[in-house]
Chains A and B, each alone.
Chain A
């Protein structure tokens, strides 16, 4: 059973007038089959955590470890992390001119699976996933994320998650920018993948809304660059009623 272990993770970014520490000692363990929700106010460092685990070059790890089944994730290149079974659904998916969705998905699946998927079953697989996410088949011929609406970009992220079958998936605000219908479609997509029991999910969100569709096993409150409190699903209800105020006060990030 795959396990992602984050220990005492400290991360800095370069800012205009020097270096700024954003993550200040994050500890978290996510196992295959589990769903963890990370909730926190804007600017608390949630995306920084996601990007740091995925290996974005903008972030510098100054302390701590991240391992996947004991393997040092931080030593791996970005593409190696993905091939090791990590997946990041991005808050702001990037437009890639000149590359069609179908070409992108196939290249990516080939890289992750270690061999090119058989064309016939692959086409069927993609079609079915797209249909389930209510994506128009025409998206396959469009350039990656180019001119996609916010909601379309998020569906496209979940489509990739479904096709790439990661061991650990980090979903960074996949719910933001979605209307209620889209939120339901996307959540159902995530749930289909979760039901396989093959994926450990780290669901980053600002709002409790998505947790009505995706039931987490654990909820963590993220504030000021670290996990301030952890609990079960009931912690989300508390946040729903009381907001983040109790966590932001005193330890304010700005």
Chain B
């Protein structure tokens, strides 16, 4: 229950949060980033980067035993006019430019995919409708890679929607040209048995703006690495996340914002609700401010709402600062409980029990949901939240 020793700036922790005494970006790498799976040892579970993850539920993604079955996932891309949608071979030069895999499963995905997708929004193209990428699990094992590239001053919203059942390891690269604006909504609305592991690399151009929503509801095990680095000054990243972790589910979000360039901004807000026996959410929030990254402005926050007994949260905010010449840097992590006293209070004001729960959870997520600004996705999330709650009572 102790706070991490390496947190230098105003941190608050409360509730059921477990934090490792020594938990830094460096301790989270058992090998340097690499595109080759052979460069990573097979994890045994005690490594810092794997210690929260139930390896036996990865269905072989981590040890080379999960072989692609050909009927893993079906991908449909619906893009407005002006967008270029391609399927390319492994040797395409545009793959892997946004960052190298940082763990064995991401490297496995990179080493194993046969074809990759590349979606390009040409420079100065401003889309008014979202690009929709539907990834539907067909019950098999799959490896994948997707690139989404925006040319200079292009603007787009991309929705990546994961449904169905699959064992999937797939990475996504987001490449933003100078002044580009990209909003990405990645929804993990998997069936109960699905396993999904992936690394999302964003490389943000000069004065470009990247806004991402990672929304995780479904799956048996979901483990995502959203990562951001900057290619020029003036870049901005807003990383928002919502998860609703149910009985038996393991949902893990491991973020890294690498302030490797001066005068960039980042803002991270992840919120999770948990309910049920063995619901387990893991949140790692690494923010690095490198020595040359003067003028950095960053804030990160993780909040969890525990609705029932038996759920567990591991929340590890971590800010590493190598220069004092910054505008601001802060982080917070808090875990609260929705308990019988709160329920009583709301009911004593005439609000029925199920509505009280809905009020609390919707309220908790509202500030994030409202910012998505893709109507059908917002609506679907609210419906989803209600369904999750109904399933629990």
Residues of chain A touching chain B, judged by Cβ–Cβ distance below 8 Å, are 54-57, 77-79, 81-83, 87-88, 90, 93-100, 103-104, 107-108, 111-112, 143-144, 160, 164
Contacts and interface: CB of A to CB of B under 8 A. Distances in A.
Most buried by A among B338, B341, B349: B349
Q: Chain A: interface secondary structure? A: mixed
8 contacts: A55-B347, A77-B352, A79-B348, A94-B344, A95-B342, A98-B336, A111-B349, A164-B350
Contact of A54 (B346, B348, B360, B366): B348
A52 to B, nearest CB: 12
Q: Chain B: interface secondary structure? A: helix
Interface in B333-388: 336, 338, 340-342, 344-353, 355, 359-361, 363-366
B344 A78 contact: yes
B305 interface: yes
Nearest to B346: A96
Contacts of B338: 97
Given A78-B347, A99-B360, A107 B336 contact: no
A14 to B, nearest CB: 14
B348 A96 contact: no
Interface string B300-341: 000001000000000000000000000000000000101011
Nearest to B340: A57
Contacts of A164: 349-350
Interface of B: 305, 336, 338, 340-342, 344-353, 355, 359-361, 363-366
B361 A98 contact: yes
A96 B362 CA distance: 13
Most buried by A among B341, B353, B364: B341
A98 B305 contact: yes
A103 B351 CA distance: 12
B349 A104 contact: yes
A112 B341 CA distance: 20
B347 A100 contact: no
A55 B355 CA distance: 18
Contacts of B340: 57
A82 B359 contact: no
Nearest to A113: B350
B361 A82 contact: no
Nearest to A109: B350
Contacts of A82: 347-350
Given A90-B345, A94-B344, A99 B363 contact: yes
Contacts of B361: 98
A111 B351 contact: yes
Contacts of A99: 346, 359-360, 363-364
A103 B360 CA distance: 10
Most buried by B among A56, A94, A103: A94
Contact of B345 (A96, A98, A100, A111): A96
A97 B344 contact: no
A121 B237 CA distance: 41
A250 B352 CA distance: 44
Given A56-B344, A57-B340, A100 B349 contact: no
Contacts of A111: 349-352, 355
A57 B348 CA distance: 12
Given A78-B344, A96-B346, A97-B336, 18 more contacts: A54-B348, A55-B347, A55-B348, A77-B347, A77-B352, A77-B353, A78-B347, A81-B348, A82-B350, A90-B348, A95-B342, A98-B366, A107-B351, A107-B355, A107-B359, A111-B351, A111-B355, A112-B350
B181 to A, nearest CB: 29
Most buried by B among A55, A82, A87: A82
A98 B335 CA distance: 12
A127 B195 CA distance: 50
A97 B335 CA distance: 10
A56 B347 CA distance: 10
A97 B365 CA distance: 11
Contacts of B360: 96-99
Contacts of B359: 99, 103-104, 107
A97 B345 CA distance: 12
A98 B364 CA distance: 4
A100 B353 contact: no
Nearest to B337: A97
A100 B363 CA distance: 7
Most buried by A among B338, B342, B348: B348
A12 to B, nearest CB: 18
B345 A108 contact: no
B207 to A, nearest CB: 33
Given A99-B359, A100-B363, A79 B351 contact: yes
Contacts of A95: 342
A96 B343 CA distance: 9
B344 A108 contact: no
A82 B347 CA distance: 8
A94 B350 contact: no
Contacts of A96: 342, 345-346, 360
Contacts of A56: 344
Top 3 A-B pairs, shortest CB-CB distance: A98-B364, A111-B350, A82-B350
Contacts of A107: 351, 355, 359
B348 A88 contact: yes
Nearest to A103: B363
A112 B349 contact: yes
A105 to B, nearest CB: 9
A79 B352 contact: yes
A108 B340 CA distance: 18
Contacts of A144: 345
